[in-house]
Amino acid sequence: MISKLKPVHVWMLVVLLHAAQTIYYYPRLPALVAQHFGANGRANGWASRDAFFILSWTMLLGLSAIFMLMPRTLRRIPVAMINLPHKDYWLAPERKDQSLSFLEREMQWMGVLTIAFLVLVLHLAIRANIDPAHRLENVLFLALMAGFLISACGWIVRLYRRFPDPAN
């Protein structure tokens, strides 16, 4: 029997992709790299290559901890501290395990989406640093941003559909 794809498997793939990105591009980038870009795509903030990659890994690992590990703590905290629509119904003892399992899985998938978005944006920044003009590809960035925002909105809708008002 083929098991369903789990968020942690995709997360590991994205982390490995960023590791490969770091290993491949680190020696190819100049000592000073652009890490911030204006609305026109031109570089307006600079950092050392080391600082750029340290920041990228700090963000990736920090977001990973928030999205991949924190959902597991939901079972250990009081229900009063969980913000969920109609939580009195959905976190009642007979539905609590199923509801929290769904939340954990969905939060981890949102983490995978967020971390993948980060790695792709970092790749755009790396490409901009390889380009002598140091310009970010705004069309690709905006496409990534739109895809991320649409996915995040879809995720929110999915949560509200999963936890509707039981009175209706």
pLDDT tens figures, 3-38: 688 999 999 999 999 999 999 999 999 999 999 999
- What's the token pair of residue 65? 């901890």
For the ranges 47-51, 68-72, 141-145, the lowest mean pLDDT is seen at 68-72
Distance CA 43, CA 9 (A): 35
Q: pLDDT-based confidence at 95, cuts 50/70/90?
A: very high
Task: State the pLDDT confidence band at 85, using cuts at 50, 70 and 90.
Answer: confident
Q: Is 8 helix (H, G, I), strand (E, B) or coil?
A: helix
CB neighbourhood size of 161 (10 A): 8
In angstroms, what CA-CA distances link 57 with 21, 52, 60?
Answer: 11, 9, 5
The predicted structure's pLDDT at residue 54 = 97
C-alpha span between 103 and 137 (Å, rounded): 35
Cβ of 78: how many Cβ atoms within 10 Å? 6
Average pLDDT over residues 75-99: 92
Q: Which two tokens stand for residue 146?
A: 């739109």
Q: What is the pLDDT, as a whole number, of residue 4?
A: 86
Asked whether residue 117 carries a pLDDT value surpassing 70, the answer given is yes
% the chain with pLDDT above 90: 83
Q: How confident is the model at residue 25, as a pLDDT?
A: 97
SS3 for 165? Answer: coil
- DSSP lists the bridge partners of residue 32 as 48
Cβ atoms of 87 and 79 within 8 Å: the answer is yes
**Cα dihedral value 4, 65, 18, 29, nearest 10:** 170
- pLDDT, position 1: 46
